Amino acid sequence: MSDHQDTASTSEFDRETAVVPVGESLWRAEISAGWNIGNTPNGGYLLAIGTRALSLALPHPDPLTVTGHFLARSKKGPMEVEVKVHRLGSSTSTASATMSQGGEPKVVLLATFCDLSKANGVTRHEEGPPLLPLPEECVAFSGMPAEAVALQARMQQLFAPQSAGWARGELSPISDMRGWVGFADGRAPDLLSLAFFSDCFPPAAFASMGAVGWVPTLELTVHFRAKPSAGLLRCAFRSRSITGGFTEEDGELWDAEGKLVALSRQMAKVLRRG
């Protein structure tokens, strides 16, 4: 992924997820407010930064499975990323990354990398991509005021009509949020960007419950399956159960050619307003 390290890149995502080495296994990133929801940087954006540092520290080129735990609220400004390598194997390598601001850990990642171009085992899909109207039949509307969700300006995001009604009080019977997404500046999706796209839709629970409040991500795991082709990603996110405020959100990301490129699952907390 070294070609994304060009800080003179015209891509907002590459510029604002860049990491520079500042010591032994230590990297520094500059958290941008451009990927905020309210005052908080998006979890997928932070996961992408940590994953980028890991990709530079490990010999295998591709993330295979990455888990991030979100310990405390991050903010705009410098972020240190310390990588600890656990094992360098022939086909995979595993490492942790601790992302800190002012000495306080904010996000901890545990990841295994591989070379997906060597993944030549069986391929078998029991289900195809999620059903989704064509982009021209979707709605460019997040349901949130643009000034509150800086993130929106970074994306071209088109919602399935049934995933856009909640903001008008038209609730869906199920917590299902689906649509198309890409970068606003036209940067093509790649594996690294899937860490971000896994967390870029409003909470699926909003589709059935409305914007009930804040739904912070506690943990996000992404399984990377294949390099996406150019074009908008086809995404679907689903929450089936909330227990005492804790919910899962399962995501599937398919590329424009109909290929599964990532699965995600996060644990989030549904914090009702007031």
From 157, 202, 155, select the one nearest 183 (Cα to Cα).
Answer: 155
Residue span binding a copy of itself (CB under 8 A) among the ranges 73-81, 138-146, 149-157, 243-251: 243-251
240 binds a copy of itself (CB under 8 A): yes
| Residue 261 Cβ vs a copy of itself, minimum distance, rounded to whole Å | 9
67 binds a copy of itself (CB under 8 A): yes
In b/e form, how buried is each residue of 181-220, taking b as 16+ CB within 10 angstroms? bbbeeebebbbbbbbbbbbbbbbbbbbbbbeebebebeeb
Q: How far apart are CA 26 and CA 41, in angstroms?
A: 21
Selected from 74, 112, 142, 163, the binder of a copy of itself by CB under 8 A is: 112
Measured from the CB atom, the residue of 102 and 245 that comes closer to a copy of itself is 245
Residue span binding a copy of itself (CB under 8 A) among the ranges 18-26, 137-145, 157-165, 216-224: 216-224
73 binds a copy of itself (CB under 8 A): no
Q: Tokens 């839709």 — which residue?
A: 201
Tokens found for residue 59: 């010999």
| Residue 182 Cβ vs a copy of itself, minimum distance, rounded to whole Å | 22
Q: How far apart are CA 250 and CA 176, in angstroms?
A: 10
92 binds a copy of itself (CB under 8 A): yes
Tell the burial category of 273 from Cβ atoms under 10 Å away from its Cβ (0-12, 13-18, 19+): exposed
By the 8 A CB rule, do 182 and 161 touch?
A: no
Selected from 141, 214, 219, 256, the binder of a copy of itself by CB under 8 A is: 219
Tokens found for residue 87: 């094992």
Q: Which residues bind a copy of itself (CB under 8 A)?
A: 64-65, 67, 69, 71-72, 86-87, 89, 92, 94, 96, 98, 105, 108-112, 116, 119-127, 174-175, 208-209, 212, 218-219, 221, 223, 225-226, 239-246, 248, 250, 260, 263, 265, 267, 269-272
